[in-house]
Amino acid sequence: MDSGTVTQVTKPKVQRAWNDYQRVNKTRKLHLCAMTGKVIPIGSSCWHYTGEFEGDFQSWYCTDEAKAFADTYDNGEGSWECQEIGEAMREKGLIS
């Protein structure tokens, strides 16, 4: 290799999984939790979901508590809607 040649190395972009959650360590603006309806303050950690459901694109945020509850929630149907998680959390007294 010639000493005057510069080789530029670029990092490949990280591909996000589709229909998946991504951890947000520190929000830059206010968001609403799609599951509980509560405000996610600036500077908070949360989860961002992107995906497709029944042909419609989805992009929403949820709190750590809501995601943890949703990960273990079973309504017997195999799937749930966001608002259902908030209702179940209220019934169990986890949120007001």
Q: What are phi and psi of 83, to 5 degrees?
A: -60, -30
Mean pLDDT of 34-38: 94
pLDDT top residue among 14 and 21: 21
CB burial of 26-63 (b: ≥16 within 10 Å; e: otherwise) equals ebeeebebbbbebebeeebebbbbeeeeeeeeeeebbb
Helices (H), 1-96: 64-72, 82-91
Q: What is the pTM of this model?
A: 0.71
Q: Judge whether residue 42 has pLDDT over 70.
A: yes
Give the model's pLDDT for residue 19. Answer: 67
Mean pLDDT of 56-70: 91
Give the model's pLDDT for residue 46. Answer: 95
* Dihedral in degrees, nearest 10, Cα atoms 60, 65, 67, 70: -120
CA distance 80 to 65: 16
Question: What confidence tier does 31 reach under pLDDT thresholds 50, 70, 90?
Answer: very high
Domain boundaries, the chain: 20-91
